[in-house]
Structure formats: structure tokens, C-alpha cells
Amino acid sequence: MSRTNAEPLDPTTQPRPRPRWLRALGDDAPPQRLEVGGREHRLVEIFKHDSWAATAMYADSDGHRKVVKLHRKASAFGVPLGWIGLMTARREARMLRALADLPGIPELSGPVSRDGVLQRNGVARAYLEGHPLGDREAVDDRFFPALQTLLRAMHGRRIVYVDLHKRENVLVDAKGEPCLFDFQISVAWPRWLPLRPIFPILSGSDEYHLQKHWSRCRPDQCGFGEGGLTTRRPWWIRAHRLIARPLREMRRRLLVRIGVRTGRGRVESEQFAEHALRATPPSDRQAA
């Protein structure tokens, strides 16, 4: 596969694999075999293995594919972190269950076991045929209105996606429709907790990031281009950036310093970058 949006690697400095404390499963990799919904599945491809989860595609003997996410299990520097993985796995399964009837949401595929032992940190869902939303990809007229409808239906159920700033979290399925699949850090707002003032900020962030992708991919339909987004940026997004950007740069420098990344420390420079950032964009595939 080709690399996308990545700075050229320094030929004299190749990145190293992530150390165990930066991998959700430590020294382990996703197992070659798992039981999903009571049926044996074999590993087909590893999509991603970062600090929070290892995500891979599995298939049963009939070729039916599932995506299995194994949330954090490994400790770091002697500190147990498996409880974080159990918490994020429960959250993701709860979100998928609560949104199962909405278009663009993959269905859960049953419990994940290994050699008959339930993997409580594992969440399995249906595999969605498609590709991550490309940078400035010219999707069809239905795409962003459908994504907006999906987000607002989620907000109506007091659920916010939170992670929409990453365009690789938006899938363009085989029919050109939008799908959301990664609910690891999404938030379900409790019924007993008043919506204001926090919920409108969270849901407003979803709307802002939707507009960001919309303006980059379909400015003709959105009504304004990427340059017009600055004036629409909410105050809480600007405040968040004041904190998040220095932290992100600090993290990138650390990863470069320990040899996991190269250049400016972008994720694409890792030895095993996540699938969405390794994949060939649609425009390249059509031209090939």
C-alpha cells in the first residue's frame, strides 16, 4: 500500500516498532484465531495497534468478515491499565448497541473469546466495505447531508461522537454513504444530568468538525470554503487548541526522540501506521 500525506522518511533514520508500553496488548499481537459470536475466526489483517487498542479484521470459514477491537490490556511501567481497556470496551459496545438502528452504524457481532475464554476487553462488529474519507475527496451530494442527519440523530439520543476531527473516522461505504464506527471516546449523556451547558458544547464540536470536512470536500455544496471556517470556529474549539496543540507537539517530539516516528513526528511516519493513513486515497485508486 502507498503512504498518504506523509513527509518523506530520512533514509538514514528508519522508525522503530512501538515499545510495549505504547501498545495496547504490550508485547502481544492480535491472536491468529478468535471466536466471535461462538464461531471461529482467523486473522486477516491488522488495521491498527496503538496505545489504546489493537484493531484487526477476522473472517470465519464462510468468508464473513468482522472487525475486532481489543482494548488496552497491558500495563505500563508496572502500573495496571487493563481497567481502562475494560472501561473503553464497555463504552464502545454500549454506543454501538444504542445506535444500532441508525443507518451508517455497524452492528455488534457477539462476544469475543479466545480458546473458550471470554475477552472482556474485546468488541466485535460487522465489517463495512468502503474507505476512509479522503483529503478533499469529492463525495456525492448525499454524503454530508446524510452524515449531518446521522450526527443529529445521535445528539437527539444524548450521544456525542467527540472524535469527528479525524476524517479517517468517517467511512465512505461501497454505496458512497457515510458510516461511523469508532466510538471509543464517545459520550452518552446521562438522563439525570442537565444538558446545559456542557452537552451543547460537545454536540457543537461535532457540528463544527462536520462543517470542517464538508468545506474541504464539498465547498460548492457547503456554501463556504475552508478559509471561511475560521470565523465559524466556536470559542471552546479555540480554547481547546491553545492547550491541545502544544501537548500534541510535545508528544510528537517524544515519539521522534525514542525513534518510533521520524521527521516532524506525524503518525504516518510510524513503521506500522494505522490502516486509514496507509490506504491509497480513492482518487489514486481510480487513476491507477
- 98 SS3 class: helix
Q: What percent of the chain has pLDDT over 90?
A: 71
Q: What whole-number distance in Å separates Cα of residue 3 and Cα of residue 18?
A: 19
Distance, CA of 212 to chain centre:
17
pLDDT at 1: 36
Q: What percent of the chain has pLDDT over 70?
A: 89
Residue 262 burial (CB count, 10 A):
23
281, pLDDT greater than 90: no
- Range of lowest pLDDT (59-73, 89-103, 109-123, 241-255): 241-255
**Model confidence at 276, in pLDDT bands (50, 70, 90)?**
low
Instruction: Give strand ranges (E) for the chain.
Output: 33-36, 39-49, 53-59, 65-71, 112-114, 117-118, 122-126, 130-132, 159-160, 170-173, 178-180, 187-188
Q: State mean pLDDT over 1-25.
A: 66
Q: For residue 181, what is its C-alpha cell?
A: 464506527
Query: Which sign does the torsion angle of CA 243, 70, 19, 74 carry?
Result: positive
Taking a C-beta distance cutoff of 8 angstroms, is the pair 53, 88 a contact? yes
| Residue carrying C-alpha cell 510510524 | 270
The conformation of residue 197, written as its DSSP 8-state character, comes to T
Taking a C-beta distance cutoff of 8 angstroms, is the pair 23, 49 a contact? yes
pLDDT at 227: 77
Cα Rg, the chain, nearest whole Å: 19
pLDDT at 280: 46
Q: What whole-number distance in Å separates Cα of residue 23 and Cα of residue 130?
A: 27
Kindly list the structural domains of the chain, giving each domain's residue range(s) and its CATH number in brackets, ordered by start.
1-16+130-288 (no CATH), 21-127 (3.30.200.20)
44, pLDDT greater than 90: yes
pLDDT at 131: 94
Could you tell me the pTM of the whole model?
0.86
- 39 SS3 class: strand
| Residue carrying C-alpha cell 504490550 | 26
Residue 52 burial (CB count, 10 A):
18
Phi, psi of 171 (to 5 degrees): -100, 135
Q: State mean pLDDT over 261-285.
A: 67
Distance, CA of 12 to chain centre:
31
Q: What whole-number distance in Å separates Cα of residue 155 and Cα of residue 206?
A: 9
Residue 186 burial (CB count, 10 A):
23
pLDDT at 254: 87
